[in-house]
Amino acid sequence: MKKIVTCLLAFTLLLTLAVPARAESLAVEAGACLLMEKTTGQVLYAVNEHQQLEPASVTKIMTVLLVMEAIDSGTLNYDDMVTASAYACSMGGSQIWLKENEQMTVEDMLKAVCVASANDCSVALAEHLAGSADAFVEKMNQRAGELGMNDTNFLNPTGLPAQGHVTSAYDIALMSRELILRHPDVRRFTTIWMDTLRNGEFGLNNTNKLIRYYQGATGLKTGSTDGALYCLSATAERDGMELIAVILKAPTSTQRFESAKTLLNYGFAAYALAEAQPPQPLTPIPVELGDAPFVTPKLEGDPTILASKEKVNAMETTVELEESLCAPVEAGQQVGRLIVTSNGEVLSELPLVAEETVARLTYWQILERCLRTAFMGG
């Protein structure tokens, strides 16, 4: 038999916005779109999410990701100086007009990329990090493969038009999630609305208008070319839940921002994050023939649950534990499970595992224990 403890979890609604009647009715004007929650990576809404399309400067999310990974690993520093090559200065498009051999810190160049979508700084950072733009592109595609971005083929670090330079809404969400989940310091740049470079002589204005006009906006990157039309990966956080809205091939700039807002509003209105925890401290489990009489169970795995607000409000947890165990018991060995349900629907099952190892008594230890018990009883 197993011990079963059930408790209704009390969760407060994260927002009071009305939930749209049908996700299919969302007014998104784009060739492809996707809405993803950051912590769980769960896709909440998608249309044509695996269609290969041109991403324009949304490409730079991967460029920024590789730079942030280098910074956080210690191989690159914010105050390192980057020298602009003639090639970097020749990019055209969005830029801060770097001069050949001009030097600027990694931090300032990263700011220029995140805020003003500077192509010249993107290439300068790529060359500084990998030796050449081509070598950096190899790193981009390698990292894309590691993240499961199977719809993606990068040809440059900027997103400037190139035949065969494609990705998908799903893949953009994957790299966006990796960036904001693993490297939160990037918010220092992606949330800037206006700033300056070159000792205040050069002004920067964020191409992502949601940063100023959408509550909780945290980033991330815009893009537009004649072929790609208007693209955006927009991130926003409210009440501890961060969402990623990807828009590709929107007809106008206004429509990409409005479509992203539609996705984000839907996500914040309809979904909530909750943490599934045992309703009370877990009871130690007796261990037979062990060098310790009990083993302590603990929850393993991410307890975060993403569900509709209706389901969150009706969530229950059920704990199932083994009544007893026979030694040896290894640390990490499953000894039960935490079942999360809502109105009878199972939302998640998380393992309960032994916190410590309990070795089996040897023959002589068992004999010694028996003799001690016999003499104490006499």
| β-sheet bridge partners, residue 166 | 153
d(CA 74, CA 77) in angstroms, rounded, equals 7
Residue where the block lists tokens 């011990």? 3
**Alpha carbon of residue 217 to chain centroid:** 15
Confirm if 295 and 356 have CB atoms less than 8 A apart. yes
Alpha-carbon dihedral sign for residues 50, 137, 243, 253:
negative
> Catalytic: 298?
no
User: Choosing from 85, 94, 117, 122, which is the catalytic residue?
Assistant: 117
Q: How many degrees, rounded to 5, is the angle at CA 302 between CA 42 and CA 313?
A: 70
User: Choosing from 38, 57, 209, 348, which is the catalytic residue?
Assistant: 57
CA dihedral 34, 35, 40, 41 (to 10 degrees): 20
- Read off the tokens for 43: 């896709």
Confirm if 173 and 82 have CB atoms less than 8 A apart. no
Of 105, 109, 112, 113, nearest to 81 by C-alpha is 105
> Catalytic: 57?
yes
User: In sequence order, which ranges of 90-156 are alpha helices (DSSP H)?
Assistant: 106-116, 119-130, 133-146
d(CA 351, CA 332) in angstroms, rounded, equals 10
Q: What are the backbone angles phi and psi of residue 286, rounded to the nearest 5°?
A: -60, 145
> Catalytic: 85?
no
User: Choosing from 38, 60, 111, 249, which is the catalytic residue?
Assistant: 60
Q: Which residues are known catalytic residues?
A: 57, 60, 117
